[in-house]
Structure formats: structure tokens, C-alpha cells
Structure 1
Amino acid sequence: MPSANEPHTGATSPRKFRAYTAAHLDQLLSRAGLGPEERLAARAVATVLPFRTNPYVLDELIDWDRAPDDPIYRLVFPQPDMLPEADVSHIAGLLRSDAPRREVNAAANQVRARLNPHPAGQLELNVPSFGDGTLPGVQHKYDETVLFFPKQGQTCHAYCTYCFRWAQFVGEPDLKMAGEEGDSLATYLRAHPEVTSVLFTGGDPMIMSASVLARYVEPLLALEQLETIRIGTKSLAYWPDTFVGDSGADEMLRLFEKVTAAGKSLAFMAHFTHPRELEPEVVATAVRRVQGTGAVIRTQAPLIRTINDDPETWRSMWRRQTALGMVPYYLFVERDTGPQDYFAVPLARAHDIFQEAYRGVSGLCRTVRGPSMSATPGKVCVDGVAEIADQKVFVLRLLQARDASLVGRPFFAAYDPNAVWLDDLKPAFADRFPFEPALERV
């Protein structure tokens, strides 16, 4: 295989990126065969939750003969029943009457405020104090790990309808997390020698050019404490040309090589939600080129109702990912934000899907963990359902925790077939969960 430093010479012709947004939505919905009222309702949803896609997703991934039931269509296009009917009806009425934009925005903001725009205390708990104030765009969530949200990476090649970071994309400055300087991040890390891993997230860092990403990454390469740089991205699924056909593809791969040459592990956290995203040959080519830099690609996605909520979908994804040399990493539970009520799968069903899929793959695929909730205390995994002392319970474990002493600790919750999130559960065999404060004695 050619070095990542060598230009790509395959037959793939360059594809020009174009962002399709809410301004194009009515025309695109017509392509799915939706009538005027259905399109209006979907547009109403798009005033609250962000919409963005591109030619690759439209032309290579969506089966338009199956739309609007096609899973990739549902992955990127707003559905009229993603929000409460009364809210959709109210905003649709404003759009129908050509109400002033400020009135539509005000109605949309009222709905957004009820959707828990920042789950797991992202603003209240995660932005650290530093120097005379705070360091924008930084979350020091766990002792050894810092998340960084580069300012220029606050969008994606396309948006997922279930995205738990939807608040980053709706144009409300108070809801955004964005950092501006790589040097400031490096300074923060020097003051916190316990940090060994940095995760670049967003948005999608791969929306940036190599030269812009380098301004954030290169100041970190001289830090001896830093072992791993992670990049969270859906670019392999939504715009693989980032690494193959784009004019800056080779420069981006050279930056990756620079990271690994500095002795850092480059973990490419790839987001694949459905097997169809792995089918185009350009994806395999992009994967090989990224791996050629020394980066390790790990894969993750949430379990989403109507899109991937069956075991065979996950078996197919994990097998294909492993065949391409990627490492299955996480199956997440849909977070308690945005249209959770529409997309969430009950924890009991999520566990059944995970276990059935897990049983049907080889040991090499079983690097995957889940179903996991990224909740306020940490990453809580549903390890199983058991009968203990004549009581049916969920067996849970903290894979990661804000309180490091709790990492790996099992605990129990009363079985609830309808629970979809940690907050829906009650402790079993105890008066509190291990991450909750002790009850005061009267």
C-alpha cells in the first residue's frame, strides 16, 4: 500500500462538497415523495433541530425508492413526529403564514429549552477554571482525559437526526462550546500532568483543513505526558473524500503521520450508524489511507430506533469493520437530549440486541462494549439482567467515572422494562447508587 505521503492515484474522480441546509429542505423532501403538509411539518422540526447533508449522502447512501422509510434517510432528514405534535403544529402554522423570522426563532427556542440541550452537565460541570477564568471549549470530564471543541470544527459534513450535540449547530452562541487556541490547551495540559489523552470533538474536527487542525494538534506533540490524541468523526461515513479525493487529503494524512512519528497514539474514533455507510468502495480506500499513517480506527455509534435497532444490523457492521482492520469500540444508548423520546430504545431491549449481536460474531469483534450510557457520573454499561434474591435486576458497571475510584465497580438497579436512561432507574439492594451522595440521617 502506498505511503500516506504519496498522492492518491485511484480512479475516483474528485467530488465537490456542497452543504444542503434547511433552505433546500422542501425540494429534497419532495424527492422522498412527501406531500405539502408532511413537508411543512418536517420543515417545522428543522427550525428546532439542525439539518445539513451533502451530495455523497444523497447520491451514494440513501435508497430513495424506500424513502421516507429508508434508514439513512431517517438518519439525516427530520421526521414530523420527532417533536411533540403541538409544537410542530404551532411552528408549522407560523411557517404557513410567513410569520417573521424572529417569531419563528422565538417559538423554536422555547421548544429547544425543553429538550435538555446540554446533557450530562456539559456546561455546568465540565468547563474547568483556569487562570483568571475558564478555558473555552475544554471539558476535563475524567482525570486522564480532556475533550476539546475547536472553534473551526463546530459543524459536520452532515447532521444526524439523533445527534446529542445538536445544540452546537442551531446558531445560539450561549449553547456552543468552542475553543480558539491550541497553545492555551497545551498550557492547560502542562498544568494538569494527570491528563494523558486528548479527544478532539465538536461538531466534527475533520471539517477543518489540515492547516487549521495542525494549529490545534502540533502544540501538543511536545508534551511528554500525552500518550493519545483522539479524533471523534463521522467523516468516513459522510464524506470519505476527506482522505481520498479532496485537494487537502494528502496534507491531512501527513499531519496524522506527524502525530504518530512524535510517538503519540492517534486514535481515530469513527462513527458508523448503519452497515450501508460501509458499503461504498471509497470508504475502504479512505480507511486504508488513514491506517497507513499509523492511526488506529475505533468504531462507535448509538442504538437508534427505526435506524439500527436490530441485532443483524450490528453484527453486519462489526464484521465489516473488523474485516477492514477497524476496532469495534462502543454501542451507546441514545442520550437524554433532543428527540430522545422518538429514537430511544428501552435499556432491556438494548441489552437484548447487544447480547444477540455479540453472540453472533467472532472474538475479534468482541472488543465492543455496551450498551453504555454517557451519563453525568460517567459511562454506565448495562452488563446484564439477573435474578438475585428473588429480585430481577439490571447489572450495571461504570466503565468510566468522574470519581475514578468508581471505575469498574458493579452495581444494581431494579429491573424496569420501560427505562431508557439512568435517571429512570432505582437502586436495588441499596438506598442509593454508588455515585450518589450518602443520605443524611435524621
Structure 2
Amino acid sequence: MVHQIDPKSFINSIEDLKKYIKLNPREEKTLKEIEKIHPIRITKYYMSLINPKDSKDPLRQMVVPNVDEFDLSGSYDVSGEAENTKTTGLQHKYPETALILATNRCAAYCRHCFRKRFIGLPSNEILSRFDLAINYIKKHKEIDNVLITGGDPLVLKTEIIKNFLNKLTPIGHLKYIRFGSRVPVVLPRRIYEDKKLLHFLHDYSKNVRQIYIVTHFNHPREITKESKRAIQCLKEAGIIINNQTVLLRGVNDASETLAKLMKNLVSIGVNPYYVFQCRPVKRVKKHFQVPLQKGLRIVEEAKKHLDGHSKRFKYCMSHKTGKVEILGILNKYIYFKYNEAKNLNNKGKFFRTKLKKNACWLDELT
């Protein structure tokens, strides 16, 4: 089911990684233990963007295992995905949106992934019968869009992607389709070399319904000549491209970095959409989360250097109760707003809690 890219394009083990990054015997042993729990996968293209001599390289932090992955604080399902699963591989948390988990594979396995529980591993959470998902969507007329994610759906064979979209075509109450993908960032040639995919996406967006791709650029160095080419091809196919960034310690937790990322995204025609608070995921939380107080300071300072187009993004957390925008701090209180809510009575609701200096998640404030 996975798109056929030369296996030599990937680094799939610590043994492979040693050819690119120098590891001492202790590091090698530690990372091999982590690899047994959560696999490693890095594209050689993305590896070429990393400074092999810099252990603190921000791009390295996102794809190379870290000893802090032994930390078990947090949860593997902090956003309540299990309770929102209606049929295998389909989630329905908010009335208008059906979310499809199309695959457990990605072109590269991000160490901060919030679905770390099944990425690159055997899983019973992935869509196995598309007909059941289609029937559910047909019955629920309130659903006006589908988000196809995973894993990364753009690693699937083009014929599989076409099949997904063609089966969604007759559902009249759907207005648009979204794909969540990091492929334009970590394996851009999968986009610009596949003319059949681009042609199909163009025809579908023009003649059936609008397609959006939500990319996942986290650092300005990820915007390269190659990734620009992939983005341009998608735009020429009529795709609207938005970007979701995760605020990550050691990666982009500086206002200058965040501002540069947003400016550069707008310059290539990508709309800044969300900056997400890193979720308190097991084997992620300890080394990637940024305190909310610091996160707000970074975001607001970055916005001072951005024009209207570049600062349209919202700083949010995907909480089990909904998509919560983090608004600001005043008089020792931190203020929030539900942009989306599982309980519809909360949608649009403003609320506040007492600020705690090192709190990184809503549950740590209440």
C-alpha cells in the first residue's frame, strides 16, 4: 500500500544512522534500546539538512531518538482519540469533521509525534474497511469535511489515494477534503515526481470539491529549494495549503525562529494556520514541551515582527475537551477560548485559570 520510493532513500535503523552521525558506544546502545520501542525512519533528503556535528541541531531533535524517550510521564492518548473512534480508523469528535487514519506509516518518524503509540508499529487503529467509514459519513449529514491523516496519507500509493477520494465523491454533503502531511517537508520529490498524483488532485479540486493539504513545517531550515518545488506543484494543482507548527523545545522555541518560519511560509504561498502546544505524550513530554507562559511570550513576541498574513495563526492546544486557543495572561490568570469543543455548549466559550509558572497543559492548571 505504500508508495514505491527507493528503499535506499531512507535511514531505518541506528546502524544506518551511524553512517551520518557520530555516536559513542553508550549513545549507540541507548538509541538501539529506544529503537526497539519506537522505530526510526529518516529520509536521506532530510538527513542532508542536519548538521552532523551539532548534537543540538533543531532538525536532528525532531527525527533522531533521544535518551529522554525513556521517560514515561504523560499518556499515549492525551486528546481522547479512543473515545472519539466510531469505527476502526474513523474518528468523529467535532460535528462537521470526520477524521480518517489512513495509515500507520510516514516518510519520517517524528520523535514528537502525538500518535507515537502506533506510528511505524502494528496497529488495530488504522482504517481497514473503507466501506464502513463511507457508510458512517453518509449517515451523518452534519459532516461537511473529511480529514485524511495517519501516519501520513501521502506515503500511500497514488491509486489508494485516488480510491479514497473517488469513494468520497458521491457524498453530497461533503464540501471539502483535507490531507494532513509532512511529505512536502521530509520527502518533497514524492510530490513533484508523481505527475499522476498531481494531475488527479488538479482534476478533483477543479471538478469535484476543494482539496486542502495541511503541512507540518516546524523550522525555517525545512523550507528549501526542494520543498518549495513540492509546494509549487501542489499550488499549481489547485490545492490550498495551510501549515500547522508544533512549538517544540530545542527546535523553534525562540520568537526569532518562529517569526522567520511564518514569514518564509507566506513567501512560498503557505498559510500559517496553527501553532500547537506540544501534547504531553508519553516519551515526548519531558524533552519537547514548552511551558504555556513561555509559549505565549514566544508567540506574542514573534507576532510583533509579522504582518497580517504571517500572524493569522492561532496558538492552540488539542485537548480532550476541544481545540483550546491560548489567548494571554493578565493579573496572574491565563485566558483561553474553545475554538472547537466536544461539548457544543462550550464552543466559543472564554475561560480563565490561575497561572502556574511551569504548567505546559490545561490539566496542570486545574
Normalised-by-shorter TM-score class: over 0.9
Give the SS at the match of 2:75.
Answer: coil
Equivalence map 1:8-407=2 (5 Å):
18-22=9-13, 25-29=14-18, 31-59=20-48, 61-66=49-54, 68-84=55-71, 116-123=75-82, 125-128=83-86, 135-150=87-102, 153-169=103-119, 171-173=121-123, 176-245=124-193, 249-279=194-224, 281-338=225-282, 339-370=284-315, 372-387=316-331, 392-407=332-347
Give ranges in structure 1 of 5+ residues lacking alignment: 1-13, 85-110, 129-134, 427-442
Cα distance change on mapping 1:230 and 1:118 into 2, 3 Å: same
- The count of aligned residue pairs is 361
Whether 1:423 and 2:363 are equivalent positions in the alignment is: yes
Displacement of 1:396:
0.5
Q: Offset of 1:184 from its aligned partner?
A: 2.9
TM-score, structure 1 as length reference? 0.78
Cα deviations by residue, 1:343-401 (Å, 9 ceiling, x for unpaired) = 1000000111111111211111122110x1101100111100012xxxx1001111111
Q: Which segments of structure 1 move beyond 6 Å, counting only runs of 4 or more?
A: none
Preserved contact between residue 17 and residue 54 of structure 1 (Cα < 8 Å): no
Q: Which one-letter code corresponds to 1:308 in the other structure? A: N
Q: Distance in 1 between matches of 2:323 and 2:34?
A: 30
Partner AA of 1:315 in structure 2: A
2:104/2:120 contact within 8 Å kept = no
Matched-pair contact (CA < 8 Å) for 1:15–1:241:
no
Using the size of structure 2 for normalisation, the TM-score is 0.94
Rounded to whole Å, the distance in 2 between the matches of 1:31 and 1:300 is 29
Structure number, greater radius of gyration: 1
**What secondary structure, in the 3-state scheme, does the structure 2 residue paired with 1:413 have?**
strand
Provide the alpha-carbon RMSD of the alignment: 1.7
Amino acid of the structure 2 residue aligned with 1:402: K
Structure-2 change in CA distance of 1:207 and 1:77 (3 Å)? same
Q: Which amino acid aligns with 2:217?
A: F
* Separation (CA, whole Å) in 1 of partners of 2:208 and 2:334: 41
Letter in 1 for 2:200: L
Q: Identity, % of aligned pairs?
A: 26
The answer on whether the counterparts of 2:9 and 2:45 sit within 8 Å (CA) in structure 1 is no
Counterpart AA for 1:45: I
